[in-house]
Amino acid sequence: MVRGTVENQIKVIARKLIHTYFVENKMDYLFSLLAADVYYLGAGKNMQAEGKKKVQYFLTKASSNLYPCIVTQEKYLTKRIGWEHWLCEAVCDVDVTNPQNETYQECLHETILFRRRKDTAAGQTEWEIVHIHTSVTTPKVSPEEMLAIQLSNKSRKNTRLYSDLTDREKKLIRMLRSGMPIRDIAESFGLAEITIKKALAKLYHRYNVKNRSRLCAYFEAEENNY
């Protein structure tokens, strides 16, 4: 599948997620896309959940506190992370109506990490969600402030991100992020698959992540100052 086709598909899925959950307050579509190891992170101190059942429970409880809203402007930015993963950032202006019938505008920022399914059942998309990060803010940041933040980010790239890794570990992470299967990585190193899996287990422990997708997302976020 060509890049443009997948990119558009991811954007369509993300837009449908935003509208069905936040505008229509329906959860079936979102729940059908959650991976078994999905992780949710919200803006609040205790707004986090891990695993499909816990995330479903949390989002069901959270939906009862959602006010009616209308999306007024929306933008979807996508980035491929290896062959198996795509990152999508949704930035939307929403008009929210509270119980006092007062309307005000908020900015919704939703970051979603998609992973290609290993097995796709009838009626399913080939993508599942492994990470969701939601933040909502009322005060808007001016274009001038945003430009200053972006320039600051560019000037403080994480130059030490790979400094504690061996050359072999750096190569391993690059292969992971490119989407190479474990068996192909093992062949490239001339090692057994179990040896590669043990090396990955050490990296998961070092960076406090649980699987390949989280490790790739960690390096993506650190490199881009998310």
Domains, the chain, in order of start with CATH, read: 3-140 (3.10.450.50), 155-224 (1.10.10.10)
- Residue count of the chain: 226
Check residue 39 and give its pLDDT: 92
The single residue listed with the structure tokens 């399913």 is 124
| Average per-residue pLDDT for the chain | 82
C-alpha to C-alpha distances, 21 to 50, 107, 164, nearest whole angstrom: 19, 15, 42
Q: Which residues of the chain have pLDDT under 50?
A: 1-2, 226
State the DSSP H helix or E strand holding residue 110, giving kind and residue range, or none if neither: strand 103-116
The single residue listed with the structure tokens 């919200």 is 42
Q: Is 117 in contact with 85 (CB distance < 8 Å)?
A: no
Check residue 201 and give its pLDDT: 92
Check residue 1 and give its pLDDT: 45
Give the type of residue at 90: A
SS3 87: strand
* Measured distance CA(29)–CA(52) in Å, rounded: 14
Handedness of CA 3, 5, 9, 11 (dihedral sign): positive
- Partners of residue 34 on adjacent β-strands: 129
The single residue listed with the structure tokens 């935003």 is 18
